[in-house]
Amino acid sequence: MMKIVCLDRETLGPSVQLNKPRAEHQWFEYDATSAEQVTERLQGAQVAITNKVGIRQHHLKELPNLKLIVVAATGYNCIDLDACRALGITVCNVRDYAKHTVPEHVLALTFALGRGIPGYRQDVIDGQWERSGQFCFHTHPIRDLAGQTFGVIGKGALGQAVAKLATALGMQVQFAARKGDKSPAEGFVEFEQFLATSDVISLHCPLTPETTALISDEEFGLMSKRPLLINTGRGGLVDESAAVRAVEVGQVAGLGFDVVTQEPMPKGHVFEKIMRRPNVIITPHVAWASEEAMQTLWDQVISHIDNFAAGAPSNVLN
């Protein structure tokens, strides 16, 4: 009988129906798990389910029964894949569950910032509309999205889904080539030109050594159209101190971030300097978390366990 341990159930919303595998099993779940608790909680387990709890080499060496790790997310940098490969542990992730929710969140941030909605909402709360004496007043710029250039970094499933929505709004979409690529393939725009010509920039690439701090002071300096910068990818893709400077000096029209380098965002984070500005929106890593997407994610997690038990593992990373 398989022992299955879910390490961080609270990362999924309470409405998600936690269906269980068909295979005979024992089920254990924890709302959250610290790094120090991983080895103890996975003792004797054949299957581990984790969203963001790290499972590293020093844990794995103490878990001789572990055969399968299912990452309840697409990103898998919380897992030591090399150690898993060496120890014969299969690692699977979930894919394509967020193909609607993340693009919709990107466009929601783009609409809100492009039309000054956070600022106008606060102005009404503060009584500025009443004091203006006019049927309307103009305290924040409003831009139509139609006709603007929407720049996408990353041409995977999410990047393409965002591009599809932007195109439907009448925007011109362009995809960035890799930084430093002076002869981009068809369908991509050289990186520096991309930065200089995009009205909106949305990040949809993985966090790797190559993409860490992909956008920093130098890149902000190339953004001659003062774009909106939307990041629903990974916090480390953008140098956060540089982003604050870009907002303060007007190199960007606004920031919409759903991810930061350290999550949850700690007290004293550099974004505290700008997060109350009307052209900055920080959401708590929820772009992926529509009710529909979370249920799809969980159903895929369970299917991976059933497939593994049947000898046909799916979405294998290693």
* C-alpha–C-alpha distance, residues 202 and 184, integer Å: 19
Indicate which residue of 41, 204, 285, 304 is catalytic: 285
Summarised one tens digit per residue, pLDDT across range 170-221 is: 999 999 999 999 999 999 999 999 999 999 999 999 999 999 999 999 999 9
Q: Catalytic residue at 263?
A: yes
Indicate which residue of 219, 234, 240, 304 is catalytic: 234
Go through the domains of the chain in sequence order and give each one's CATH number: 2-96+291-309 (3.40.50.720), 101-282 (3.40.50.720)
pTM of the model: 0.91
Closest by CA position to 302, among listed 29, 42, 56: 29
* C-alpha–C-alpha distance, residues 31 and 306, integer Å: 23
Indicate which residue of 263, 272, 291, 292 is catalytic: 263
The owner of tokens 């969140």 is 105
Summarised one tens digit per residue, pLDDT across range 209-268 is: 999 999 999 999 999 999 999 999 999 999 999 999 999 999 999 999 999 999 999 999
Summarised one tens digit per residue, pLDDT across range 28-68 is: 999 999 999 999 999 999 999 999 999 999 999 999 999 99
* C-alpha–C-alpha distance, residues 131 and 200, integer Å: 33
CB neighbour list of residue 123: distance below 8 Å, 6 or more residues apart: 129, 137, 139, 140
DSSP string across 286-306:
-TT--HHHHHHHHHHHHHHHH
CB neighbour list of residue 186: distance below 8 Å, 6 or more residues apart: none
Q: Catalytic residue at 285?
A: yes
